[in-house]
Amino acid sequence: DQQVKQNSPSLSVQEGRISILNCDYTNSMFDYFLWYKKYPAEGPTFLISISSIKDKNEDGRFTVFLNKSAKHLSLHIVPSQPGDSAVYFCAASTDLYSGGGADGLTFGKGTHLIIQP
Amino acid sequence: DVKVTQSSRYLVKRTGEKVFLECVQDMDHENMFWYRQDPGLGLRLIYFSYDVKMKEKGDIPEGYSVSREKKERFSLILESASTNQTSMYLCASSKTGTGESWATEAFFGQGTRLTVV
């Protein structure tokens, strides 16, 4: 059963416009959410995160919104640039592990963002 | 900058071979993870470790084992490689957080593309 869902396998956006990537989750115990960007043949790189006590976090062109009641988060990229073309993964974590450490991230299947000139 | 280094970018092994994938991080992170990435399936957690000599199963541990004898090194072992273990393997590390959440962002290595023939 998929606990983190990215329902759009791909998304095409014109350069300069806003890109909105969506993610839904089912596990109400998730309390930390992250977005990663991945180019082919490379490891994912961390973009931005948000804790469940917040509903918005912003870092430059990237903003993540969290709607806990809907179990939904989204990543906004404004303005979109050609270098943003990549696969974006949504990930979530709980901190319930007794040792106090992260017990691993649960990833969605990814959304391939294509920025068109 | 955090550096997570995986020993090989590409590996080709024969069915039935014992395979070792090595990962080293240089930021004194407590937590280390092994994921595999397959088309259409996203990243799936194989094993993780939150301390030296400690290990926990992730979502797909079957056919794998791990070793963490030193804090900076986390090895993934395929006891008897099979063709369905052909995949991109990604190692990651993270520190245990404080404050809002124990979880923090994970930093990934460049990946190892393993082909089992």
Q: What is the tens place of the pLDDT at every residue in A63-113?
A: 999 999 999 999 999 999 999 999 999 999 876 443 334 467 889 999 999
Q: Do A110 and B102 touch (CB under 8 A)?
A: no
What is the rounded distance in angstroms from the CA atom of residue A90 to the CA atom of residue A13? 19
Q: Which of B7, B44, B50, B107 to mutate to test the interface with A (most CBs of A within 10 A)?
A: B50
Report yes or no: B101 at the A interface, CB cutoff 8 Å: yes
The answer to whether B97 faces chain A, any CB pair under 8 Å, is yes
Selection from B65, B97, B96, B103 nearest residue B81 by Cα: B65
Residue B50 near residue B86 (C-beta atoms within 8 A): no
A88 and B CB contact within 8 Å: no
Four-point Cα dihedral A92, B75, B27, B93, nearest 10: 0
Which distant-in-sequence residues (6+ apart) come within 8 Å of A87 by Cβ?
Answer: A37, A38, A39, A110, A111, A112, A113
A106 at interface of B, judged by CB pairs closer than 8 A: yes
Lowest mean pLDDT among A77-81, B24-28, B47-51, B70-74: B47-51
Query: Is the torsion defined by CA of A104, B57, A97, A72 positive or negative?
Result: positive
Q: CA-to-CA distance for B84 and A10, rounded, in angstroms?
A: 26
Instruction: Please state, in angstroms and rounded to a whole number, the distance separating the CA atoms of residues A62 and A29.
Output: 25
Residue A99 to residue B51, Cβ atoms within 8 A: yes
**Separation CA A100–CA B96 (nearest Å):** 7
Q: Which of B76, B100, B107, B112 to mutate to test the interface with A (most CBs of A within 10 A)?
A: B100
SS (H, E, C) B1-35: CCCEEECCCEEEECCCCCEEECEEECCCCCEEEEE
- Whole-Å CA distances, A13 to A21, A85, B33: 11, 9, 33
Residue A97 touches chain B, beta carbons under 8 Å? yes
Tell me what pLDDT residue A95 has: 62
Determine the pLDDT at residue B60.
Answer: 93
Q: Do A99 and B35 touch (CB under 8 A)?
A: no
Beta strands B10-13 and B112-116 are parallel
Lowest mean pLDDT among A47-51, A85-89, B74-78: A47-51
| Amino acid in position B98 | T
Query: Which residues from B are below 8 Å from A23, CB to CB?
Result: none
CA-to-CA distance for B94 and B43, rounded, in angstroms?
16
B103 has pLDDT over 70: no
